[in-house]
Amino acid sequence: MPQPNLLLGVNIDHVVTLRQARYRTLPDSPNAEPSALAAALAAEAAGAHSITVHLRADRRHIQDADVFLLRKHIGTKLNLEMGNTQEILDISLQVRPDFVCMVPENREEVTTEGGLDVAGQREALRSTVKALSDNGTRVSMFIDPDLDQVRASAEIGAAMVELHTGTFANHTGAERDAEVARLCAAAELGHSLGLQINAGHGLTTHNLTALWPVPHLAELNIGHHIVSRAVFIGLTAAVHEMLAVMASYSRA
């Protein structure tokens, strides 16, 4: 089958947010729903190319058991988002996800707020990248579209960067145009350094085409909008409508 122009990783964290809202204290209840695995399988059947989950230190949504279950049963790729802690690294080395995306993590944040400061913590990240890569996982750095962060990601041995599109998503007009220009420059530099260029955060069917000037995009990771749309139209249709918008991207 020909490889699509742009791949979609569906982040199912917020399916599990809903489950945890009711069943956090009753994880073994036969009524615990919605199922993370069922959501992942439905997203895959609808055309998702990978399943993304963030195993946070505070376990506010995805639980360890979810990650192991997904690893065992999904048919596409597993992308694990993680902060750089020994605890989560040990789990990741056991799970062997296809991809890991290293993210910053603060306990109080509602969601990942900014990119990872790769340039400021090269040695700590370099050893994590090596441990994961040696274990068969391709590693990405979730960074703001900042040229120093792109260079640092390449220098510590990451295979990919995921450009943080939160600022892009939260602005319109001239401010958004300026952010698109930063994203373009970061993508150009990353590509020239041999990095795969991914993007994610705050992307919706409404704002996505404004991102299309950014070259070299290989994969988008999208969660909140798809899960929100799924409440009204179902997960299958929500994945389909995102893929339909993504089909208009041209990488070069």
105 is a catalytic site residue:
no
Asked if residue 11 binds ligand PXP (CB under 6 A), the reply is yes
Query: Between 26 and 59, whose beta carbon lies closer to ligand PXP?
Result: 59
Asked if residue 103 binds ligand PXP (CB under 6 A), the reply is yes
The residue count of the chain comes to: 252
Please select the residue that binds ligand PXP; options are 83, 142, 218, 219, rule is CB under 6 A: 142
In DSSP notation, 83-139 reads -S-HHHHHHHHHH--SEEEE----TT-SS--S---SGGGHHHHHHHHHHHHHTT-EE
Query: Between 81 and 144, whose beta carbon lies closer to ligand PXP?
Result: 81
Q: Rounded CA gap, 79 and 44, in Å?
A: 13
- Count the neighbouring beta carbons within 10 Å of the beta carbon of residue 114: 16
Least Cβ distance, residue 103 to ligand PXP (angstroms):
5
Least Cβ distance, residue 162 to ligand PXP (angstroms):
5
Asked if residue 102 binds ligand PXP (CB under 6 A), the reply is no
Least Cβ distance, residue 122 to ligand PXP (angstroms):
19
Q: Rounded CA gap, 249 and 90, in Å?
A: 37
Encoded amino acid at 203, one letter: L
201 is a catalytic site residue:
yes
| Stretch 147-186: interaction string toward ligand PXP, x if CB under 6 A | ---------------x------------------------
Asked if residue 56 binds ligand PXP (CB under 6 A), the reply is no
> How many residues contact ligand PXP, by CB under 6 A?
19
Q: From residue 138, give the alpha-carbon distance in Å to each of 51, 56, 58, 71, 80.
A: 14, 19, 24, 15, 10
Q: Rounded CA gap, 162 and 203, in Å?
A: 13
Would you call 155 helix, strand, or coil by DSSP? helix
The binding site for ligand PXP (CB under 6 A) comprises: 11, 13, 54, 81, 101, 103, 111-112, 142, 162, 200-203, 221-225
